[in-house]
Amino acid sequence: MAVRVLVVDDSAFFRRRVTEMLDGDPRLKVVGFAVDGRDAINKARELNPDVITMDIEMPVMDGINAVRAIMAATPKPVLMFSSLTQEGAKATFEALEAGALDFLPKSFAEISRNRDEVARVLRSRVWSLGVRGLPKSRVVATHECASPVRLPSALKQRELSGVRVVAIGTSTGGPVALQQVLSALPANYPIPILLIQHMPASFTTTFAQRLNQRFPLNIREAVNGDVLEPGTALLAPGGQQMLVEAQGPRLRVAVRESMPRQNYRPSVDVTFGSLARACPGRVLAVVLTGMGVDGRDGARLLKQGGALVWAQDEVTSVIYGMPMAIAQAGLADEILPLSEIGVRLAELL
């Protein structure tokens, strides 16, 4: 059965473009349109779609308030279309916090100048959200559903005592998941943290500022030459790659331009791989919700050096792709629900 999609946008031209791309995939079926947020609320109730694509800026009611109302009344997976500006970033994060699960730039040229690639990305995102549905953790308490893998307590404490860096990689669903993890960590957290979130270049500065305003840790976007320090979390800059290099006893960030073959910018694999070289066996890598397998190859390199790897469980993941790749490859030392990951990281104090 095809994933049923409601397309919401005040622009008839944009509605038509989205519909043409989605209709090219037999797995997807556009079942209706809405021209503003209020219309979207009504159509969501009437048509009961599997996924909603939603513009942010619309008359009558904007996309953010529409998402809040839909999630309160008839919860559905929502993919937002956003402008890649500072204001667009702010609005997108508000929409994600309101309940939207994913976002794409409204200017399709920002995805690719190849029309077929744009259609592929859009179809893949919509289909994945439709098949997955809303994470069960939004409805059922995680402790009732999760079956975490545990290390024996003595072994766990012995291995965790050697951690020098915590590195967290994520994609779809990550902006909200990272906030839940970081909320459990105090300002005096003794281990440097690296955050790798698939995100456009124009979004990461705003995202880092937003996180820094909300949580006790010092959180900022990484710049070339940054020293990894306790109490600080560095977010990989969008559109580039964040590596870690050892310089004597210190670890420093090296921000590099992406190579043509690197599909993710930033890439979890790139950061994890650099950590495997810079401080083998002294890393705790955490892979959260996300589409694809980014992080798996880097986690394998880390494991070969004796590092620890945690993965988010299926129940609490928005998209169980990246953490599933870790689990299926046999690389996960622990598989945990999102609600426990920050708490467990706090045990490293």
Helix (H) or strand (E) holding 7: strand 3-8
Active site residue 143: no
Q: 123 Cβ partners below 8 Å, 6+ apart?
A: 21, 22, 24, 25, 27, 28
Q: Which of 39, 50, 269, 294 is the catalytic position?
A: 294
Q: Which of 128, 137, 171, 317 is the catalytic position?
A: 171
Active site residue 269: no
Active site residue 62: no
CA 128 to the chain's CA centroid: 14
Q: Which of 198, 202, 226, 317 is the catalytic position?
A: 198
Kindly list the catalytic residues: 171, 198, 294
